[in-house]
């Protein structure tokens, strides 16, 4: 039901410390480094799936803010 033409609902995963962030092209192409350790992100299918789980865990661990996306 979204009008977004291109869905990039994946994640990138830091190859050094495992920090996950929502996918962006800059991170996927290593133009943006991990804010925690300066390592490179990977946005392949495997890392995206791992990142999704990590972000969901991080999100559920913090308090609920009440906005859904
Ligand atoms: Zn890192
Ligand atoms: Zn990967």
**For 14-44, what is each residue's pLDDT tens digit?**
999 999 999 999 999 999 999 999 999 999 9
Residues 6 or more apart whose Cβ sits within 8 Å of residue 35: 19
Expressed in angstroms and rounded, the spacing between residue 43 Cα and the centre of ligand 2 is 5
Asked if residue 6 is part of any domain, the answer here is no
Q: What pLDDT was estimated at residue 67? A: 62
Residues 6 or more apart whose Cβ sits within 8 Å of residue 28: 12, 41, 43
Q: What pLDDT was estimated at residue 47? A: 95
Ligand whose nearest atom lies closest to the CA of 18: 1
Q: What pLDDT was estimated at residue 5? A: 46
Q: pTM here?
A: 0.71
Ligand whose nearest atom lies closest to the CA of 16: 1
Asked if residue 66 is part of any domain, the answer here is no
Expressed in angstroms and rounded, the spacing between residue 36 Cα and the centre of ligand 2 is 18
Confidence of residue 8 (pLDDT cuts 50, 70, 90): low
Asked if residue 33 is part of any domain, the answer here is yes
Asked if residue 15 is part of any domain, the answer here is yes
Asked if residue 1 is part of any domain, the answer here is no
Asked if residue 36 is part of any domain, the answer here is yes
């Amino acid at each position: 039901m979204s009008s977004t033409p291109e869905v990039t609902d994946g994640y990138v995963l830091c190859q050094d410390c495992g920090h996950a962030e929502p996918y962006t092209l800059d991170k996927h192409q290593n133009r943006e480094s991990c804010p925690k350790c300066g390592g490179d992100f990977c946005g392949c299918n495997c890392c995206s799936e791992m990142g999704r789980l990590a972000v969901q865990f991080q999100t559920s661990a913090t308090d609920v803010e009440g906005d859904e996306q």
